[in-house]
Amino acid sequence: MGRSPRRPGARDLHGVVLLDKPAGLSSNQAMQRVRRALNARKAGHTGNLDVAATGLLPICLGEATKFSGQLLDADKVYRAHVQFGVTTRTGDAEGEVVETRPVEGLEAPRLLAEMARLTGPIEQVPPMYSALKRDGQPLYALARAGKVVERAPRRVTIFRFELLSLNATVAEVEVACSKGTYIRTLAEDLGAALGCGAHLTALRRLASGPFRLEDAHTVEAIEAACLAGTGDGCVLPVDTAVSVLPALEVSDTEAEALRHGRPVRPGGPGSPAADVGEQVRIYGPGVRFLGLGECAPDGQLLPRRIVNLME
C-alpha cells in the first residue's frame, strides 16, 4: 500500500475507486494521481499491475484500505497476447530477447491441448522480475544486478484458459485465475510446452473479485470530474470492497459493543448465512456499514475489522 506525507487540506475520503490503469504508469503512480485528484488523505491499491499492463486496478481510500487484503486475495481475469517463438529476460515485451526459435505446426487444436494441461491447479515458479522479496530485496532488483536465486514453486489455480484468436505466431487468450498467478509465467510455460518459447506482448486485467473493467474510470476522466466538482461520483461505498461476503444486521446495542471490540450474540432475524470461521459484513440499523465480523463456534459474532466512518 502506498502512502505519502499528509497534505494541507487533504480529506478523509472513504470508498473504492475503480481505475482503468494506463500503460506506462506503475500501480503506485496511478494510485497517487487518483489520490491527488480527489485530495484524499489515505489510499492504497489492491495488487500490482506491471508498468506495461493496463486494466482494472481497484483503489481503496480511507477506511476502505482496511479491506485491501480481501481484494488482494480475490480471483482475477486477464486478457493477454502471447508471442510464440521468442523468449525474453522478463517474460514480456519489456525485456531483452534471449532466444528465438522457429514456430512449426502451431495450430489451434495443438495449442488448446497444451492450454488444457495448464488449466486447473498448477505449480508456478515466480519470475525473477517480480516484486516478491528475498532478504528484504525485491527479486527484480536482484535480477537487474545479474543475480538469480532459487524460488519455491507456488500452487495457483487456472479456472479458465480460453483461446480467443490465433494469428500466425500470436495468440490472444483470456485467463481466469486465483490470486498470485503470473500470466507472464503462464505464457512462458505454454511456450516451453510447445517447444518454441513465448512471451507476453500485452496484458489487460478485466476483473478483480466483484469488480469489472467496464465500470472503471481512466485517470483523465477522474481528474476531469474532480475539476468539474463531481469527482466523488467516482467513489464507491466502502462495503463494495467486501460485497461478496454474506451480510448481517445488528442492533444499536450490539453495534456499540462491536465498535468497542466486544463480541455479541445476534439473536434476531438476518443471522449470517455463514460457516464457523467465515467472515460476514456487519450493518447497524439503517443499513450503516460497521465492518467485518467472524462467526465463532459458540454462536458469537467476533469483531474483526471495524470501520470508523462519520455518521
Active-site residues, by number, are: 50
DSSP 8-state class, residue 90: S
Q: Is 251:286 a contact under the CB 8 Å cutoff?
A: no
User: How far apart, in Å, are the Cα atoms of 113 and each of 107, 108, 193?
Assistant: 10, 8, 10
DSSP reduced 3-state for 30: helix
Query: Cα separation of 166 and 111, whole Å?
Result: 9
User: How far apart, in Å, are the Cα atoms of 74 and each of 179, 221, 245, 300?
Assistant: 6, 26, 12, 27
Residues in the chain: 311
223 closest CA partner among 7, 45, 22, 51? 22
| H-assigned helices in the chain | 27-38, 68-72, 108-117, 139-144, 183-194, 219-227, 252-259
Place of cell 481466469: 176
User: What's the gap between Cα 240 and its chain centre?
Assistant: 14
